Amino acid sequence: MIVFGGCSSKTDKNSTNTVKNNKQETTASFKGQKLNLYVAAGLKKPMDEVINIFEKETGAKVVPSYGASGGLYTQIKEGQPCDLYFSADWLYVDKLKADGKLAEGQKFLQDNLVLAVSQTGKNKVKSVTDLIKPGVVVGVCDLQAPVGTYSEKAFKTMNIWDKLVSSGNIKARPATVNQLAVMIGKNELDAGLIYSSVAKANNLEYVEEIPQKYTGEIIFGSAIIKGGNEKLAKEFMKIANNNIDKFEKYGWKAVKE
Fold of 113-210: D-Maltodextrin-Binding Protein; domain 2 (3.40.190)
Please report how the helices 230-242 and 44-58 are oriented relative to each other, as an axis angle in degrees rounded to 10: 110
73 with 145: CB under 8 angstroms?
Answer: no
Cα 122-198-124 angle, rounded to 5 deg: 10
Which residues are known binding-site members? 69, 177, 195
How many Å apart are CA 125 and CA 81, to the nearest integer?
43
Q: Given pLDDT bands bounded at 50, 70 and 90, which one contains residue 247?
A: very high
On the question of pLDDT at 33 being above 80, the answer is yes
- CA atoms within a 13 Å half-sphere pointing along the CA-CB vector of 83: 19
Pick the CATH number of 31-111+218-254 from 3.40.190.10, 2.30.29.30, 3.20.20.70, 3.40.50.2300: 3.40.190.10
Task: For residue range 47-70, list pLDDT tens digits in order.
Answer: 999 999 999 999 999 999 999 999
Which residues are known binding-site members for molybdate? 69, 177, 195
List, as one string, the DSSP characters of 102-151.
Answer: EEEEEEEEEE-EEEEE-TTTTTT-SSGGGGGSTT--EE---TTSHHHHHH
On the question of pLDDT at 6 being above 60, the answer is no
pLDDT of amino acid 122: 96
**Residue bearing the bigger pLDDT, 205 or 13:** 205
pLDDT of amino acid 24: 55
pLDDT of amino acid 3: 34
- List every span in the chain annotated with CATH 3.40.190.10: 31-111+218-254, 113-210
On the question of pLDDT at 2 being above 50, the answer is no
Q: Given pLDDT bands bounded at 50, 70 and 90, which one contains residue 244?
A: very high
Count H helices, E strands: the chain?
Answer: 11, 11
- CA atoms within a 13 Å half-sphere pointing along the CA-CB vector of 189: 26
